[in-house]
Structure 1
């Protein structure tokens, strides 16, 4: 590993530490992003679960979707943090210290991923308490974890792009709505074949569905077919596009 790569990694970790410290100064947003997915899971399981036939216990069916909701809520903090940095004068100070845009954004993404992993652990802990019982083998569990982390990282970089595009932190926070909406027209909460026919095409081919199907199949020991490969391709594609856009937008905003 070259000295340049080591230096960039050290800078990114320093920026990630800064992002985590900033989160500690805004506990309301962090608590909301962690608790809201849990509340939604409890609402779906206990309010609506008895009326939805998925062929299994509803808590077993719904947990993968809630994990992706968790990632969406958590990533909104990244958009807000990037927007706040761009609005203030901190970017000029970082640039005077020879800290590049990719490093700054990577710090936000790493901090977001860490927060999301904590949220994921909380969701899984509550799910276990209310009856979720996965039957995954160790390789399957590791594969599910890899896909979930890949999705979190990809969505966090996409949130960084939203933060660069937004004119204010409040507008950047609106990214939550998009990420909160996307799991609903998917297999997250009900089987797709129960939806109207005109919605099937979008629900079957949007990025959230293969990720959810992969997590559900891997965690429950069910056949997954090509879903993990499709999910991985979506995550890689989103990440590649987000990385490219973030570099262009950061240069444009700081020119």
Structure 2
């Protein structure tokens, strides 16, 4: 690669490389896209009648499943970042004079593409199961914007976790808390249906206001407090993830 290559062009090349790797790995595609659909079918189609949430359960659950879909692909992103770091691929890029930022941003944008595919699959499955939001075009644009923001911010945190891990195995395990947190939020049932301790945890953890923001956008009940908290958590994820990822990259690469 020439030394005149732009960071944007290098990022596009890294994105294409990561996307090809994803297509060649059926397990990654299953985890990122199909498994969230399986989870949705299990909760909505098989167990939905067991939950009393005041509305059709598919309408309640779909916003939470959107966040679950974003989180389920994180393990693959972390392991891909760690694989590049531990197997010397990044050192080869340094010899080729590839933009340093492009190596990291390519992973983040690749994760974001997987997120969009997974969310599209979830929304399509929701409609097949009876999901009927009342969102306007502007609200839907807000939903897309939130998907991009959440995926982008958590993507940076995930890449940081992957770069910091000592092995591919530990990189995958490092993302387990992020994958499990949505299950302990209001994604499945409202917080007031939970027992003491679990209810308080659900109310004050980061994914609950994010899920409630999606729910509000889709059904015309958006609360300003939920939106502000969601944006604040995303900003926190982004700042911590970006600074951590770039510092680790400079130290280890």
What TM-score bracket applies, with the shorter chain setting the length?
Answer: over 0.9
CA-to-aligned-CA distance 1:118-139 (integer Å, 9 cap, x gap) = 1111111111001001110111
- Other-structure match for 1:180: 179
- Other-structure match for 1:139: 138
Aligned length: 251
> How far 1:223 moved relative to its partner?
3.8
- Other-structure match for 2:166: 167
More off after superposition, 18-27 vs 198-207: 198-207
- Taking the aligned partners of 2:226 and 2:207, their CA distance within structure 1 comes to 11
Contact 1:161 1:245 in 2 (8 A): yes
Matches within 5 A, 1:242-253: 242-253=241-252
SS at match of 1:174: helix
- Taking the aligned partners of 2:98 and 2:201, their CA distance within structure 1 comes to 41
- Other-structure match for 2:45: 46
Matches within 5 A, 1:221-232: 221-232=220-231
- Taking the aligned partners of 1:39 and 1:199, their CA distance within structure 2 comes to 25
- Where in structure 2 are there 5+ consecutive unaligned residues? none
The change in CA–CA distance for 1:47 and 1:157 in structure 2 (over 3 A counts) is same
SS at match of 1:190: coil
Contact 1:112 1:156 in 2 (8 A): yes
CA-to-aligned-CA distance 1:11-60 (integer Å, 9 cap, x gap) = 11111111101111212221232111111111111222111111001011
- Other-structure match for 2:206: 207
Runs of 4+ in 1 over 3 A off after TM superposition: none
**Two-structure CA RMSD over aligned residues (Å):** 1.7
- Taking the aligned partners of 2:174 and 2:144, their CA distance within structure 1 comes to 24
Contact 2:192 2:199 in 1 (8 A): yes
Q: How high is the TM-score relative to the length of structure 1? A: 0.93
Contact 1:148 1:211 in 2 (8 A): no
- Where in structure 1 are there 5+ consecutive unaligned residues? none
Matches within 5 A, 1:1-255: 7-254=6-253
Q: How high is the TM-score relative to the length of structure 2? A: 0.94
